[in-house]
Amino acid sequence: MNPWKLSTLILAPALVLVIGGAAVNTAGADDKKKDDKKEAPQPKMESAKDFLDKAHEKLEKATPDKGGHRVKAMKLIKDAIEEVELGIKWDNEHVSKEEAEKKNKKK
C-alpha cells in the first residue's frame, strides 16, 4: 500500500473527529449536561481522544517497514492527543458565552 494512502487513511478521520468534535462541542454548548456526573465533561472530545488512542495502538502493532511514515503518523497522532487534552482542559477552565450570559441575567 502506498505510504501516503496509509497516513491519509489514518490521519484524515482523526483530524475530522478532532475538529468536528470541537465544533459540535462549541455549537452544542447549551446541550452540555454538567450536572450529570455520569457523563464526561467533554464527551465528544473524550470520544475523539479514545479514537486517537486506538489509532496509535494499531500503528504500534503494524509492521515497521513503512518508509518512516508509520512513525511520523504515530507522532502526529500523539500531537493530536495532546491538543485534544489541552482543548478539554481549556474548556473546563473557561466559562462559555451561554454560561456568562446566564450569570449576567441573574445579577
Output the pLDDT for position 18: 73
- Rounded to whole angstroms, the Cα distance separating 1 from 101 reads 53
- Tens digits of per-residue pLDDT, 18-48? 776 665 555 555 555 444 445 567 899 999 9
The terminus-to-terminus CA distance of the chain in angstroms comes to 62
Q: What's the whole-model pTM score?
A: 0.57
- Tens digits of per-residue pLDDT, 45-89? 999 999 999 999 999 999 998 999 999 999 999 999 999 999 999
Separation in Å, CA 90 to CA 21, 41, 66, 74, 86: 15, 12, 36, 24, 6
